[in-house]
Amino acid sequence: MSTHLETRDLTIRFGGHVAVDSVTCAFRPGELTAIVGPNGAGKTTYFNLISGQLRASAGQVLFAGEDLTRLSAPLRARRGLGRAFQLTNLFPNLTVAENIRLSVQATRGVHYEMLRVWSKRRDLIARADEVLEQVALSARRNVAAAALSHGDQRKLEVGMMLALEPAVFMFDEPTAGMSVDEVPVVLDLIAKLKRDASKIVLLVEHKMDVVRSLADRIIVLHNGRLVADGVPAEVIASAIVQEAYLGTAPTQASAA
């Protein structure tokens, strides 16, 4: 089998509420798929089901031919599923550099090394420095993550996923709340990833111009259901998006 990521009838119920409702979809390497839909459509929940933060009520998650449905989040991360969270989730009292370094350390499989001093692992530090450079945070490296501005925290969030060097990148509104001059750093990074034919990139994004310029494909979630799937121009023009997405959340769409 190939390195496709696939969900089959993926479903989760919270009490009576079906937040993700039998979503079947496949994602190919070298393709950037934007996931759009109004607030509460289930986009973040769909990500949580794929990366393992939530367990599915029904359905399957498959990656590279392997059924991941029963695996825990850390084991899915080790299989190559990378997540950047919508609600920034950092190690607040550790430095920016340490946040990234821990991410590098995880990917390099240095989990239980107890008797060596961490700072002697120059390889990990050097790689973390590269990532810091990429997300334009080198100058803030020794600051506690909690002390960063919102925009810098968003960049760090993205940096931690980049440092994982995953096969699947899941961005959940990476530029939300960023100031205008900070946005290009992140968008350029995503555009660069897109050029790598071996990577699967999933991007939840409300800003339509961003979606239009970056996405190879758009899928639309609405009330937890997959309601449209296709090339950007078609999907954006379709009646279902005009109604389901632009209709319900006109402010965000037009503000974009």
Partner 1 sequence: MMILSGDRPRNAVLSVILAAILLALAFAPFLFPGSKPLNVAAKICIFALLVASYDLLLGYTGIVSFAHTMFFGIGAYGVALALFNYGPSWSMIALGIIVALPLAALLALAIGLFSLRVQAIFFSMVTLAVASAFAVLASQLSWLTGGEDGRSFQVPPVLRPGNRLFDGEIFGVAFNGRVVSYYLVFIACAALFLLLLRIVNSPFGRVLQAIRESPFRAEALGYRIVVHRTLANVTAALIAAAAGALNAIWLHYTGPETSLSFSIMLDILVMVVIGGMGTMYGAVIGATLYILAQNYLQALMGSASSMAASAGVPLEPGLFHPDRWLLWLGILFILSVRFFPTGIVGRLRQGATKA
Ligand X SMILES: Nc1ncnc2c1ncn2[C@@H]1O[C@H](COP(=O)(O)OP(=O)(O)OP(=O)(O)O)[C@@H](O)[C@H]1O
Binding residues for ligand X, rule: CB under 6 A, are 14, 19, 37, 39-45, 86
Of positions 44, 45, 46, 83, contacts partner 1 by CB under 8 A: 83
- Scanning the chain, the segments in alpha helix (DSSP H) are 43-51, 73-79, 96-107, 122-134, 150-164, 183-194, 208-214, 232-237, 239-241, 250-255
Q: Rounded CA gap, 165 and 72, in Å?
A: 19
Surface-to-core class of residue 157, CB atoms within 10 Å of its CB (0-12 exposed, 13-18 middle, 19+ buried): buried
Q: Rounded CA gap, 212 and 233, in Å?
A: 8
Per the listing, tokens 């960023």 go with: 178
Using CB under 5 A as the binding rule, whether residue 44 contacts Mg ion is answered as yes
64 binds, among partner 1, Mg ion, ligand X, none (CB under 5 to 8 A by kind): none
Using CB under 8 A as the binding rule, whether residue 93 contacts partner 1 is answered as yes
SS3 243: helix
Q: Give the nearest distance from C-beta 229 to ligand X in angstroms.
A: 16
> Within 164-183, which residues bind partner 1 (CB under 8 A)?
164
Q: Give the nearest distance from C-beta 232 to partner 1 in angstroms.
A: 29
Site string for Mg ion, 77-96 (x = CB under 5 A): ---------x----------
- The strand pairing partners of 66, in sequence order, are 63
Please report, as ranges, the residues that interact with partner 1 according to CB under 8 A.
51, 53, 72-75, 77-78, 83, 85, 89-94, 98, 101-103, 105-107, 110-119, 121, 124, 160, 164
